Amino acid sequence: MDIVRSPLAHARIKAIHKEEALKIPGVLAVLTAEDLKPLKLHWMPTLAGDVAAVLADEKVHFQMQEVAVVIAENRYAAADGKEAVQVEYEELPVVIDPVKALLPDAPVLREDLAGKTEVRTDSATTPMKFSLGRPVTKKPPTSPSNRPKSRSNKT
């Protein structure tokens, strides 16, 4: 097995050409999101309560996102098949600053979440104050190296 990944951080997938890969001896299948849709496996739930694309579905949302998977009899045929898959992309604007991503004119990665910019917090993060995106705390976190040493007089 080998995976075709997107070289772009944000792009619309115009076409995935897998015909040449399927001609390579030892390549058994090339799967894309279109192949997973009839099985309802193209989007899967996450631990955070959202859904994530198993393989990029119409758009890639980050660089190196999985676009197709090549199933083969051995890793060499899979690697050759991966190189033979051709993907046509329409490059879209990117945003790398999380604060700018909340602006109204920021590029939208997932249309199903457009306009949803609420920030959820839980009781552990609510009391924290934030400055420039970094938590500001009054004392440093404790770790084995900076914990106070016990001052016992036992000998």
* CATH architecture of the domain with range 2-91: Alpha-Beta Complex (3.90)
Q: Does residue 129 carry a pLDDT above 70? A: no
- The order of strands in the sheet holding 59-60 is 59-60, 11-17, 86-91
pLDDT in tens, 19-28: 999 999 999 9
Give the rounded distance of the alpha carbon of 87 from its chain centre.
18
* pLDDT value for 136: 54
Q: How confident is the model at residue 135 (pLDDT cuts 50, 70, 90)?
A: low
Percent of the chain with pLDDT over 70: 72
Closest CA to 70 of 19, 1, 151: 1
Give the rounded distance of the alpha carbon of 29 from its chain centre.
24
Q: Which amino acid is at 45?
A: P
Q: Does residue 77 carry a pLDDT above 80? A: yes
Structure tokens at 29: 């299948």
* pLDDT value for 130: 46
